Structures are given as structure tokens and as C-alpha cells.
Structure 1
Amino acid sequence: MRRFFVPPSSLDNEIVPLPDDIAHHIRTVLRLAPGDEIILLDGQGRRCRCRLETLDKRSASARILESCQEEETAFPIQLLQALPKGDKMELVLQKGTELGITAFSPVTTSRSLPPLAGEREEKRLARWERIIREAARQSRRPVLPRLDAPIPLVEALIACDAELRLMLWEEESLAMAGVLSGVAPRSAAILVGPEGGFSQQEAEAARAAGFNPVQIGPRILRCETAGFAVASVLQYLFGDLGSAGSTRNDP
């Protein structure tokens, strides 16, 4: 059954008006018709089985048939990602959502791209949110990951409250296997630098904020893939990667 994220407030009533983009997709791409059933989610865990009521060029709506609360099974991971060049951040958001990352915190560093200003930044954040929403829909996540606006690295370090804090850094680093031994943490944060890496001063600031400098292995990964590798390891050790899948009959 097809799944779509809608604003949480729209699920407060029995009849749900569908946003234009969802209605267009249902009507012209999926070619569904009134009477067909879909799943609507609020991005906070609420899941509603609905039946399409109206579907035309002017409006579309669905009736809630049943509602339940789904729990997020992914291990809580915050990814603090220095802004990379080009559209690499879009790949980070898409694949990170699929791998169960629960919060994305873009950061600016001395060697990263600067944030955009004003309306350009708002448009970029809106596009990033759409990418996350579509990736969550495709991967059947019940809860949308949090997306923060880009902030300087120092501010992001101060705000981070994850129990396990890992910084991917090539210099003076420990093997990640040694850092992960022991009791399973309640949450984790992964700090990934830009293409040029962290400066010595930035690395020391991260250390002072409780981040352990680690390396994954003998190979150097690109900035847009390094976070995926660590997230996969953490989800396998502490989360739901490798566990049995859902038993629901959603196709």
C-alpha cells in the first residue's frame, strides 16, 4: 500500500485533504482512483490507513479508516556533516535517511562551503526536507529525521548531547572497534569534516566537546560516504540493521 507523509494537523479529522503534490502523484503517476487505499503518516509515528474519497484536478481527499502509532526502531544517530561541495549533501540526506539517521546537522567549518543567505537558504532547506521525506517514504520509516539549519561547528558541538560522540579524523585517531567496545550507548553522534578535512584547531575543539577521533580502517572515504559507513556499523551493533523486517502486508 502506497505511503505518503502529510502535515500532522491534517490527520486530526476523519477526512484528510491531500496536498497538491501528493494528489498529482496519486492521480497521474500511480493512477489510483476513489475507493483505493493508501497509508498517510504524520512524520511523528502516526500511521493511518485511508480510503481515497475524492480525486480530481481541483481537489483530493481521503477518509481515515484506522489509525495506529508506529515506533522508530533505528538507533538514534545525529550526523554532524560539514557542508560539502555541489549537491553531495543531497546524497547524504537521502542515503542517511535510508540507513536510519535520526537527525541531520549541517555545519560550517574553515574548509567547508559557507551557508547560503536569505531566500536561497530557505529554498535549499525546503529541497532538503523534500529529499528526506521521499527517502523516508521509500524506506518505510514512520518518523521523519530532524533537519537543522546550517550553523558553525562550534555551536553544533555545544548543542550536541549524544552519549557516544565520534569524529572521523585521519590524524591521531583510534580504531573505531576499540571505541565501540563496552556497554551499548543510548545515542550517538557522528562528526564528518569537509573535503579538506578539519583544521587542527577544529579537531581540538571537537575533542574538548567529547568527540573521540576515530578511523574506520585503512581506506580513506569521501566526506559524503564516511558517515554512511559509520552509521551502518552503529545500526548493526545497536539498532535494527540486520534484524527481521516488518510483517505488515504493505506492498
Structure 2
Amino acid sequence: MHRFFITPEALRGEQVTLTEEIVHHLVVLRLSEGAEIVLLDGLGTLCHCRLTGLAKKTGTATVLVRSKEIERSFPIELIQALPKADKMDLILQKGTELGVTRFLPVQTNRSVPRLEPKREEQRRQRWLRIIREAARQCRRPLLPQLAPLATLDSALAGCQSALRLMLWEEGSHALESVLPQQIPAGAAVLIGPEGGFSSEEVAVARRFGFVPVRFGPRILRSETAGFAAATILQYRYGDLGGAQS
């Protein structure tokens, strides 16, 4: 059954007004009145619904059954320095598929893109759409959070994760050597831009408890390092390896 995300407010009643984005998908899928779909609020609530009205840009649905779905992935915060071009789109899409629970885009000294304030909200809305579509496609019941673009210092200062890892090729530890045997409450993974971190940024990260780690002899790209880290952590502690039942 086709699944779509909608705001928690929209699912409070038994009659649901569908967004234009959802209606567009329904039209493309050639669904009509009477068809049944699943609407999710991104917080774990699922509503089995029947379409009761469908026009070109508007639609309504009636809630038939409400239920809760628990996500068992390991909590991962991905603190990602802005990469070049549209690589952040890929990071958000694949990170969502791999169980990242929160994305924190940051501006670093060597970040090439410099988003203007007037374009930041436009870019944010695009990123949110990418996250929603990726979560819908991979059937996640929860939507990952997307923090506003921040400086590196402010993002690190607000980090609450128990395990804090920084992918850095110099003076770092093998990842396996720093992973605890017991499952931690969650992990934050810090990824630098194409040009890497400056020595000052490495010092700041260390001050906030981030441990520099490496995967092995190869240096991964900024847009793929987070995928590798998320996969390893989900296999070790999350739902990719069966650590959580």
C-alpha cells in the first residue's frame, strides 16, 4: 500500500486534507476515490485511510485505522560540512535510507558553497522534500530531523550524543578500536568538506569530545564518508546487523 508523510496536525481528526504534493503523487499513480493509502505523521503514527475526494490539486481522505510503528535503527546524528554542488541532496537521500536520525549541515572554513540567507530557506525546503521522499521510499516510519545550517562551533556545542566520531585521516584511530562493546545511546558523526578540516577545527572538535577516526587506508569523499560510517554503526548497533530485536 502506498505511503505518504503529512503533518501531525493534519492527522488529528478523522477527515484529512491532503497536500498538493501528495495529490500529485496520487494522480501519477492513477489512484481514484475509494483507493486506500497509508498516511504517516513522521513521529511513528500510521493511519490507514480511504480516499474520499480527489481533484487536480486537492484531495481528502478518511482515517480507517490508526496504529503505531516503532523504528529500531541506531540513533545517528550526521554533522555534515556543506559539500560542493548538489552533493548534499545525495547525502540526505542515502543517509535517510541508512537510518540517520538527524542531519546537521554546517559551514566550515573550507566549505566551498556559501549559502545566502535569502536562499537558505528555499534550499531547506528542497532538502526536506528529499528527506520525505527517501523515507517514504524506504518505508521508514519516522522522518529524520533537519537542523538549520549552523557554524561548526555551534553544532558541536549542542551535540548530546554519547559516542562522538570525526572522520579525519591525520592522527586518527582505527574506527574499530574506539567502538564500545555495549550499545551507546547514540552517535554523532562529523564529516568535513572536500578540502578537509583545518587544524583549528580539529582542535575545536576534540575539545567537544569528538574522537578522530579512520576506516582504513582509503580516504573517502565527503559525500560517501557518512554513508560508510552510518552503515558500520547500524550493522554494529542497529537494525542492519540484528543487534536490536
Q: Give the TM interval when normalised to the shorter protein.
A: over 0.9
2:175 corresponds to:
176
Indicate how the Cα distance of structure 1 residues 178 and 59 shifts in structure 2: closer, same or farther if over 3 A, else same: same
Match of 1:248 in 2: none
Cα drift, residue 220 of structure 1 = 0.8
Q: Aligned partners of 1:45 and 1:3: how far apart in 2? A: 13
- Output the CA distance in 1 between the equivalents of 2:56 and 2:108: 47
Q: Which residue in the other structure is 2:90 paired with?
A: 91
Q: Which amino acid aligns with 1:52?
A: L
User: Could you tell me which residue of structure 1 aligns to residue 16 of structure 2?
Assistant: 16
Percent sequence identity over matched residues? 58
Check whether the contact 1:115–1:150 (CA below 8 A) recurs between aligned residues.
Answer: no
- 2:136 aligns to what SS in structure 1? helix
Name the SS for the 2:21 alignment partner: helix
**TM-score w.r.t. length of structure 1:** 0.94
CA contact (8 A) 2:77 2:102 kept: yes
1:108-119 correspondence runs (5 A) = 108-119=107-118
* Cα pair 1:167 1:191 within 8 Å, conserved: yes
* Structure 2 match to 1:199: 198
Q: Which runs of 4+ in 1 moved over 2 A?
A: none
What are structure 1's unaligned runs of at least 5 residues?
A: 245-251
Tell me, yes or no, if the aligned pair for 2:50 and 2:64 is still in contact at 8 Å: yes
Q: Where do residues 1-251 of structure 1 align in structure 2 (5 Å cutoff)?
A: 1-27=1-27, 29-57=28-56, 59-243=58-242
Greater Cα shift, 10-19 or 55-64: 55-64
Separation in 1, partners of 2:240, 2:70? 15
CA distance in structure 2 between the aligned counterparts of 1:144 and 1:109, rounded to whole angstroms: 26
What is the rounded CA distance, in whole Å, between the counterparts of 1:183 and 1:56 in structure 2? 53
User: Residue 7 of structure 1: CA displacement?
Assistant: 1.2
CA–CA separation in structure 1 for the residues paired with 2:231 and 2:97: 10
| Higher mean displacement: 230-239 or 112-121 | 112-121
Q: Deviations over 1:204-247 (max 9, x none)?
A: 11011100100011111000000100100000111101449xxx
The alignment partner of 2:73 has SS state of coil
Could you tell me whether the CA contact under 8 Å between 1:77 and 1:187 is conserved in 2? yes
SS at 2:212 equivalent: strand
* Length-normalised TM-score, structure 2: 0.96
Q: CA deviation at 1:95?
A: 0.2
**RMSD (Å), alpha carbons:** 1.2
- CA distance in 2 between counterparts of 1:187 and 1:73 reads 12
Distance 1:168 1:222 in 2: 11
Tell me by how many angstroms 1:33 deviates. Answer: 1.2
